[in-house]
Amino acid sequence: MAERQSPLEPELHVGSHGNFEHGVEILLTETRPGSIVQLAAWPGEEKKLIAAIRGVTGLALPDGAGGGLSDGVKSVFGFAPGKFTVTDEAEGLAAAFAKPVTPAIGTVTDLSHGRTAIRIAGPKAEWVLSKFFAIDFALPAFPVGAGRSTTHHDVFAQIQRTGTDQFDIYVFRSFARSFWEALCHASEEVGYEVQ
Amino acid sequence: MLITCPYCGPRDVIEFTYQGDGNRERPDPASQNFEAWNAYVYDRLNPAGDHNEIWQHSGGCRAHLRVVRNTLTHEISSVAFVRGDHSSAARRKAEDKP
Ligand SMILES: [Zn+2]
């Protein structure tokens, strides 16, 4: 596969920034998964699609809207009725789904080159994200593993909570740099480190 | 104004797009009944009270929703998927509800 370049590169400055004299409270990273795949089930075929996700990734989706989980290498979460985002550190996930997700079950869309994955972690992650998105980031409302679809100024974002203090945000690649810059600005007041 | 999406839960109205009056009935595309087409395009109930509306959660799960909104108070008394019920995997769990 062609080597991918980061859309963030001109604005990705490794090191500590902002008000970090008392320690950094936010870590920002681009996770660069090898595969980002969107799966959609035709109405009534959701259970078969969920079984296919389990077969390919070994991840058993919990029941309910926006449910998801991550094993640190592969992640999956629901972002709409019958629709799921699956990511893998390795490439080739779309090809792996092509067989089990038959045309009768649903569709496979490879977004590996179309989305940029940004991880925000640290004790102030909820605080900083609350400046962007009008959703509840508190742990009881947004449990670990769960996914949410939302928007920041018309920039569509899918967010998965991958830890108590950690969120993975998937944005359109073409919007990623401006979103990243905004995220850096919003993190300045608490001190942030880019890794 | 908050709309409680059956998939996403309560969300700000900025995440939604109004898709029009939910009372309209589209005539058969082959229909030559001009009165029926006229009614579909122009006739509106314009109630002062509960109104059936179609909204899309365009800044979220992108589902189309059947919403009953009170035009006097903006109170939303019901929200459902236009496409009908979804499997349990697509619905919000009871304990997730606000
Ligand atoms: Zn929704």
Ligand 1 centre distance from Cα of residue B88 (Å): 15
Q: A80, B63: Cβ pair inside 8 Å? A: yes
* pLDDT the model gives residue A77: 98
Q: B61, A79: Cβ pair inside 8 Å? A: yes
Taking Cα atoms as reference points, which of A87, A114, A108, A92 lies closest to residue A33? A87
Taking Cα atoms as reference points, which of A38, A55, A27 lies closest to residue A195? A27
d(CA B19, CA B94): 28
Taking Cα atoms as reference points, which of B11, B27, B26, B4 lies closest to residue B91? B4
From the candidates A149, A152, A156, A159, which should be mutated to test the interface with B, based on the most B CB atoms within 10 A?
A149
Tell the CATH superfamily of the B2-87 domain: Folate-binding superfamily (3.30.2270.10)
Ligand 1 centre distance from Cα of residue B57 (Å): 5
Q: B7, A65: Cβ pair inside 8 Å? A: yes
Q: What is the ipTM of this complex?
A: 0.90
Q: B96, A83: Cβ pair inside 8 Å? A: no
Q: B11, A150: Cβ pair inside 8 Å? A: yes
| Domains recognised in chain A with CATH numbers | 9-32+113-194 (3.30.1360.120), 35-110 (3.30.70.1520)
Q: Per-residue pLDDT tens, chain B, 98 aa: give them.
A: 999 999 999 999 999 999 999 999 899 999 999 999 999 999 999 999 999 999 999 999 999 999 999 999 999 999 999 987 654 445 554 344 43
Q: Mean pLDDT of successive 10-residue segments in chain A (195 residues)?
A: 83 94 95 97 95 97 93 96 96 96 97 96 98 96 97 95 98 96 97 96
A68 touches chain B (CB under 8 A): no
Interface residues from chain B to A (CB-CB < 8 Å): 6-9, 11-12, 14-15, 59-63, 81, 83, 86-93, 96
Residues on chain B touching A78 (C-beta within 8 angstroms): 89-90
The arrangement of strands across the sheet holding A68-70 comes to A68-70, A74-80, A83-88, A35-41, A106-110
A83 touches chain B (CB under 8 A): yes
Ligand 1 centre distance from Cα of residue B18 (Å): 14
d(CA A54, CA A107): 16
* pLDDT the model gives residue B84: 76
